[in-house]
């Protein structure tokens, strides 16, 4: 099972439609858990949102944090990492923090930290990018020609 746990709710629009399109194509299908944004001082917001993310991803999941300081995978490496986790009978839970980022406790409890680069991306775009990369990873794993590993 694949789970995306994210702070904030996607509004109607092209980003939501794109994520939904990939969501229907991916096997195993990935679920989305949208959690409310916390209120208060920065540290308290991070703590509350982090607790909500950890609660939403408890169980038989390996947690993967999307964090600027994480490992930068190529698509084939990302597919291999997902395959390794799924082959052990665990689900994969991807955690996307709110505007203030992920709390240190969340990062410490994640098995893998990945980055889509050192640039700052809007959280809703990260969902789109993750959905596409999950589709690409599952395509690579199944031998589907969606991913083209060679460059001209």
pLDDT in single tens digits along all 152 residues of the chain: 899 999 999 999 999 999 999 999 988 788 999 999 999 999 999 999 999 999 999 999 999 999 999 999 999 999 999 999 889 988 999 999 998 899 999 999 998 999 999 888 888 899 999 999 999 999 999 887 788 776 55
Give the pLDDT of residue 45: 95
Give the pLDDT of residue 123: 84
Give the pLDDT of residue 122: 87
68 by DSSP, 3-state: which? strand
95 belongs to an annotated ligand binding site? no
Report how far Cα 61 is from the mean position of its chain's Cα atoms: 13
Give the pLDDT of residue 151: 55
Ranges of H-type helices in 4-103: 14-25, 42-56, 75-87
Q: What is the reported pTM?
A: 0.91
Assess contact for 61 and 107: CB atoms under 8 A.
no
Closest CA to 54 of 81, 30, 35: 35
117 belongs to an annotated ligand binding site? yes
Domain boundaries, the chain: 2-142
Angle between helices 75-87 and 123-142 (to 10 degrees): 70
CA distance 102 to 96: 7
CATH topology of domain 2-142: Alpha/beta knot (3.40.1280)
10 belongs to an annotated ligand binding site? no
97 belongs to an annotated ligand binding site? yes
138 belongs to an annotated ligand binding site? no
């Amino acid at each position: 099972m694949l789970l995306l746990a994210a702070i904030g709710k996607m509004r109607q629009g092209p980003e939501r439609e794109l994520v939904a399109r990939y969501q229907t194509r991916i096997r195993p299908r990935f679920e989305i858990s949208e959690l409310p944004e916390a209120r208060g001082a920065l540290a308290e917001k991070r703590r509350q949102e982090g607790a909500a993310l950890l609660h939403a991803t408890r169980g038989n999941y390996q947690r993967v944090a999307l964090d600027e300081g994480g490992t930068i995978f190529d698509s084939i490496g990302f597919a291999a990492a997902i395959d390794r986790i799924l082959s052990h009978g665990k689900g994969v839970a991807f955690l996307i923090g709110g505007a203030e980022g992920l709390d240190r406790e969340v990062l410490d409890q994640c098995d893998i930290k990945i980055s889509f680069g050192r640039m700052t991306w809007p959280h809703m775009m990260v969902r789109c990018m993750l959905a596409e990369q999950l589709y690409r990873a599952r395509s690579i794993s199944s031998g589907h020609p969606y991913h083209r590993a060679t460059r001209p």
